[in-house]
Amino acid sequence: MVKSTIKLFYTGAVVFVLLIFFIDREILPESVRLLGKGTAEYNDQTIYGITSTYARLTQKADLTRLIYTLMHVPNFHWILIEDSVEKTPLVRRLLQKSGLKYTHLNKKNKKNSHHKSGVKDLLTRNAALAWVRNNVTQGVVYFMDDDNTYDLKLFEEMRTTKVASVWPVGLVGGLVVEGPVRCKNGKVLTWRVTWETNRTIPIDMAGFAINTALLRQHPDVKFVDAFDLESIFLGDLGLTRDKMEAKGNNCREVNVWHTQTAKANLYQEKVAQQLGDEYNPIIET
């Protein structure tokens, strides 16, 4: 009776191990196995959100709103980098008040060749990457615009990123949904894109996350001054389309939208300013 129970136990254990081995081969990309990690290790990883921000009329509002979303995300570390020559008191106060775990950086972006106004946030993003490489041993990196909209589910899904993950993004690239839209067993079958469809990995900045281990394996890879900077960055990290871990409930859900805050139109501000000091006290906005 005891012997047969022990035999049953060992048989079960062997079947279990073989099962895990084959499931692993089936659904995980090669690069995951190369990193040699088990799934359980990824369930409580810290997410490092990298956000570039710059002074403008709607900045305080946009950051305030984003902070209220981030306050709901457990194990989150916000790397907020100001596109400025100095850190500003406005941003410093917002961060201190937020109660978030954060790192406050600054770096002045430069205009560059590929865009009328420069490829957005090139130097700030690379400075934040350098900070991550120098300070983080384990986690997931995600690039976040300060006026995008994030569903909390997105963070819980990206948290299990083993190497690099990808998901659909709403309202970007002239489309309602862009990126992976049909996925199976964690692999992307169909990419919905209309711009430069032959890119290595055709995805917007809001549509992927990477494990910091990958950044450390490729210590020199950073964003370059090109329109398809996301795809080049991911390619330089050794990624291909079928190495990307598909999230978003197998790409059936949009959990991030590339919303943009309309520029404030202050057509009456000059008139108000001429009313005199009494009407124009210093109020931080």
Annotated binding site for Mn(2+): 147
Q: Pick the catalytic residue: 82, 157, 178, 230?
A: 230
Q: Which of 59-67, 122-130, 157-165, 202-210 is the region at the interface with a second copy (rule: CB under 8 A)?
A: 59-67
Task: Give the contact letters, 117-156, x = binds to a second copy (CB under 8 A), - = no.
Answer: --------------------------------x-xx----
Answer yes or no: 196 catalytic: no
Tell me: does residue 173 bind a second copy (CB under 8 A): yes
Closer to a second copy by CB, 91 or 129: give it: 91
Which residues within the stretch 214-253 sit at the binding site for a second copy (CB under 8 A)?
A: 252-253
- Residue 277 near residue 283 (C-beta atoms within 8 A): no
- Residue 205 near residue 228 (C-beta atoms within 8 A): no
Binding residues: 147
Tell me: does residue 184 bind a second copy (CB under 8 A): no
Nearest to 269 by CA among 261, 277, 280: 280
Q: Who contacts 29 (Cβ-Cβ below 8 Å, separation ≥6)?
A: 163, 187, 242, 243, 244, 245
- Please give the Cα distance from 156 to 135 (Å, whole number): 23
- Please give the Cα distance from 136 to 266 (Å, whole number): 43
- Smallest separation (angstroms) from a second copy to the CB of 185: 17
Tell me: does residue 65 bind a second copy (CB under 8 A): yes
Could you tell me which residues are beta bridge partners of residue 257?
149, 170
Tell me: does residue 280 bind a second copy (CB under 8 A): yes
The DSSP-derived string for 75-101 is: SEEEEEEESSSS--HHHHHHHHHH--E
Task: Give the contact letters, 70-99, x = binds to a second copy (CB under 8 A), - = no.
Answer: -xx---------------------------
Cα angle vertex 271, ends 268, 273, to 5°? 110
CA distances, 240 to each of 29, 33, 119, 166, 235 (Å): 10, 15, 23, 11, 6
Options 9, 22, 68, 227; binder of a second copy; rule CB under 8 A: 68
- Please give the Cα distance from 209 to 248 (Å, whole number): 12
Enumerate the active-site residues.
Answer: 230
User: Which residues in this chain contact a second copy in the complex, by CB under 8 A?
Assistant: 57-58, 60-62, 64-65, 68-69, 71-72, 149, 151-152, 168, 170-171, 173-177, 181-182, 190, 192-195, 252-254, 257, 259-262, 264-269, 271-272, 275, 278-281, 283-285
